[in-house]
Structure 1
Amino acid sequence: MTSTTSPVPVPGTEPFSADGGRTGVLLSHGFTGSPASMVPWGKHLAGLGYTVRVPRLPGHGTTWKDMNTTRWQDWYGEVDGALTDLRATCDRVVVAGLSMGGCLALRLAEKRPADVDAVVLVNPAVNLARFDIKLVPVLQWLVPAMPGIGNDIKMAGQDELGYDKTPLKALASQIAMWKTTRADLAAVTQPLLVFRSDEDHVLDPTSVDLIRAGVTSAVSELVPLHESYHVATIDNDAQLIFDRTAAFIAEHVGTSDD
């Protein structure tokens, strides 16, 4: 269910949109995060001539209590609509995401294979091996939130403008989305590029391992990030992510001018 109120978004969490060539890129931020973590990446790709969309997921960029009224179907609906928007003007579309945004990107590739030409993931989330995660379906009815997971960034002075609490009803829904997405990973056949930080204080290595073992992509590249934590898109390796993404798109999908 979606909140009936409309809290005022936090400045700096605005969606980003840029119209360019016939190749589009959809970038999705992560759980409790905001477009602030993706806009620099989006602006870089827009500068190369790509058509870019960075939506703000429902319940994000406002308050954690607002987010607790949203579910994974709301978040998926937002990126699904953005993909439809891109396909209206673009011949090819790449979907990309950070953390939970990576799960959403994979779900788009699973459900809309004809509309997704490649997938790019940064520290994608489809699993957590922590024991307390198993308790969330029960805990969500006992407490509204637990401490936040945001701003796991090595570079000083960066801020993804996320929440300082983790809303548990929303987290329980994310876990359900992970399970659904993992079950259909074999449907992902598109070229896949995955960035994984060596040191990540939010996710363990199981997500990337499960993704790479589960997809049936003929092209599956893994790029280690040595100088970034979880929110690598605005960390020390951001330029590496930007450059490798552009090269990957040009090689496997097409340049912005094609």
Structure 2
Amino acid sequence: MPLLPGCEPVRHDGSADTGVLISHGFTGSPQSVRPWAQYLADRGLTVSVPLLPGHGTRWEDLQITGWQDWYAAVDHEVHALRRRCRQVFVAGLSMGGTLALRLAAKHGDAISGVAVVNPAMTFPRLQGYGLPVGRYLVRSTRGITSDIRKEGPREIGYTRVPLHAAHSLRALLRLVSGELPQVTQPLLVLHSRVDHVVPPGDSALVLGSVSSTDVTETVLERSYHVATLDHDAERIFADSYAFITRLAEEDGT
């Protein structure tokens, strides 16, 4: 199935010292974080943004994938970056932030730091109750892309959410919520004051559950969920770059 224009993965070979994996979110694509990746690449970092399985084509393709597939894709990229770079950082938007936190929990000291934007940690309770049975009765529901305050930018993503994949997302969120105490790396959490997709309490859950001692929280006042394409995008890019370079310098780079 051909990719939707703009959904191509991003790979930039830069510094052999510092590599960054950035993951997009559920039903989205690398397009939503491409400017972030480009900002870091322009400053000499090695950057990878994989296209998660089932994404970037049509929503029916997402229906036959699950969280294990999405996690395997980012895990593969982390291993590739570790072969290429001395230090590896992980980052992500929404479910991409969830995946980044799981990578940190599982890879330990092999990950030098984590930067997440509006990380997803909980599934809406009412919708979640009906998913185990409802996914066999109804194939999809309305999409959740383009929650952007700024006029003009649009997020490329699916207009429908396949319920089998949503059920798998729910399982992933529960799993990673329980793994947060295993996250010990320096952590940067950027979250929007107003978010119509992920409740702000999800970021509070991350901040209150991780074991990291080097933690920075940034509240984004002028953006909605897809903040990487919104008014606060440049702040996200600059803050994450400063976070990464500070840690790299502390490590002697």
TM-score, shorter chain, exceeding 0.5:
yes
Q: Does 1:27 align with 2:8?
A: no
- After TM superposition, where is structure 1 displaced by more than 4 Å over at least 4 residues in a row? none
Q: Does 1:153 align with 2:137?
A: no
Residues 82-130 of structure 1: per-residue CA shift (max 9 Å, x gap):
1011001111111000000000001100111132110000000011344
Q: Identify the match of residue 182 of structure 2 among 179, 187, 193.
A: 187
Aligned residue type for 2:122: N
Aligned residue type for 1:17: R
Q: Does 1:114 align with 2:109?
A: yes
Shift of 1:254: 3.6
Q: Which residue of 1 aligns with 2:3?
A: 9
Q: Is the 8 A contact 1:128 1:206 kept in 2?
A: no
Residues 213-232 of structure 1 correspond to what in structure 2 (within 5 A)? Answer: 213-232=208-227
Aligned residue type for 2:74: V
Aligned residue type for 1:253: A
Q: Which residue of 1 aligns with 2:57?
A: 62
What stretches of structure 1 of length at least 5 have no aligned partner? 1-6
Aligned residue type for 1:10: L
Q: Which residue of 1 aligns with 2:138?
A: 143
Q: Is the 8 A contact 2:123 2:173 kept in 1?
A: no
Aligned residue type for 2:226: V
- Percent identical: 47
- In the alignment, the residues of structure 1 paired with residue 108 and residue 248 of structure 2 have an alpha-carbon distance, to the nearest angstrom, of 14
Q: Does 1:83 align with 2:75?
A: no
- In the alignment, the residues of structure 2 paired with residue 85 and residue 217 of structure 1 have an alpha-carbon distance, to the nearest angstrom, of 25
TM-score by length of 2: 0.96
Shift of 1:157: 1.6
Shift of 1:56: 0.4
Q: CA RMSD in A?
A: 1.5
Shift of 1:223: 0.3
Aligned residue type for 2:64: T
Shift of 1:183: 1.0
- In the alignment, the residues of structure 2 paired with residue 254 and residue 156 of structure 1 have an alpha-carbon distance, to the nearest angstrom, of 38
Q: Is the 8 A contact 1:193 1:248 kept in 2?
A: yes
Distance 1:191 1:146, change over 3 A: same
TM-score by length of 1: 0.94
Q: Which residue of 1 aligns with 2:87?
A: 92
Distance 1:81 1:113, change over 3 A: same
- In the alignment, the residues of structure 2 paired with residue 212 and residue 137 of structure 1 have an alpha-carbon distance, to the nearest angstrom, of 30
Shift of 1:221: 1.0
Larger displacement relative to structure 2 (182-191 or 132-141): 132-141
Shift of 1:179: 0.9
* SS of equivalent to 2:114: strand
Q: Which residue of 1 aligns with 2:167?
A: 172
Q: Identify the match of residue 41 of structure 2 among 20, 37, 46.
A: 46
Shift of 1:148: 0.6
Q: Is the 8 A contact 1:120 1:194 kept in 2?
A: yes
Q: Which residue of 1 aligns with 2:118?
A: 123
Aligned length: 252
Q: Which residue of 2 aligns with 1:202?
A: 197
Q: Is the 8 A contact 1:196 1:225 kept in 2?
A: yes
